[in-house]
């Protein structure tokens, strides 16, 4: 399912809180260093982001969150968060969510989607490569950049 700048802030805050330890580095720690709270961050994602998500009853299984509005001149959409709850991993959740996000971008006439991940995040790299992302040059040697061309 897609929520374009309309995802529920409380549900997002709860999902991020529950999955804080699922990130290579706890998200709350990264946000704290940036002077942001998890609640503020969740609000920004919901108000400005496009959220592809899948549910199991009331539980959010995973999310892919990016920006599809006010894009730069080259019309590329940046994906800022990709997380599947550990309980639901390796069941194709992320693969389906990325495909849904790409479909939404295609409808919006977006040219390409891009994201980055850590050089040590091998599961994310395997996921992105399996979903058709290709490597792109990246100035930061601790990160890997991927692009998926929509059109």
Task: Work out how close the CB of 36 gets to ligand COA at its nearest, in angstroms, rounded to a whole number.
Answer: 18
Hunting for tokens 């994602």 — which residue is that? 45
Taking the least distance from each CB to ligand COA, the nearer of 5 and 95 is 95
Taking the least distance from each CB to ligand COA, the nearer of 22 and 71 is 22
Taking the least distance from each CB to ligand COA, the nearer of 142 and 151 is 142
Quick one: tokens of 144?
Answer: 């890997």
Task: Work out how close the CB of 109 gets to ligand COA at its nearest, in angstroms, rounded to a whole number.
Answer: 25
Sheet containing 59-66: order of strands? 2-4, 50-56, 59-66, 76-84, 112-118, 143-149, 134-136
Task: Work out how close the CB of 65 gets to ligand COA at its nearest, in angstroms, rounded to a whole number.
Answer: 11
User: Which stretches of the chain bind ligand COA, using CB under 6 A?
Assistant: 22-24, 62, 82-84, 89-95, 117, 121, 123-124, 126-127, 130
Torsion of CA 6, 38, 121, 81, to 10 degrees: 10
Taking the least distance from each CB to ligand COA, the nearer of 93 and 105 is 93
Residue 77, φ and ψ in degrees, nearest 5: -100, 130
Task: Work out how close the CB of 127 gets to ligand COA at its nearest, in angstroms, rounded to a whole number.
Answer: 4
Residues in contact with 136: Cβ distance below 8 Å, sequence separation at least 6, in sequence order: 114, 145, 146, 147
């Amino acid at each position: 399912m897609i929520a374009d700048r309309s995802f529920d802030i409380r549900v997002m805050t709860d999902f991020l809180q529950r999955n804080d330890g699922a990130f290579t580095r706890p998200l709350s720690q990264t946000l704290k260093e940036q002077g942001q709270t998890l609640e503020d961050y969740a609000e920004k994602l919901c108000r400005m982001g496009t959220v592809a998500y899948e549910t199991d009853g009331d539980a959010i299984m995973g999310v892919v969150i990016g920006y599809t509005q006010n894009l730069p001149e080259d019309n590329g959409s940046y994906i800022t968060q990709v997380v599947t709850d550990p309980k639901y991993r390796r069941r194709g959740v992320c693969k389906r969510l990325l495909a849904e996000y790409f479909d939404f971008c295609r409808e919006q006439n977006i040219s390409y989607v891009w994201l980055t991940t850590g050089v040590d995040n091998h599961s994310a790299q395997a996921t992105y490569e399996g979903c058709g992302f290709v490597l792109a040059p990246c100035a930061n040697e601790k990160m890997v950049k991927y692009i998926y061309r929509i059109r």
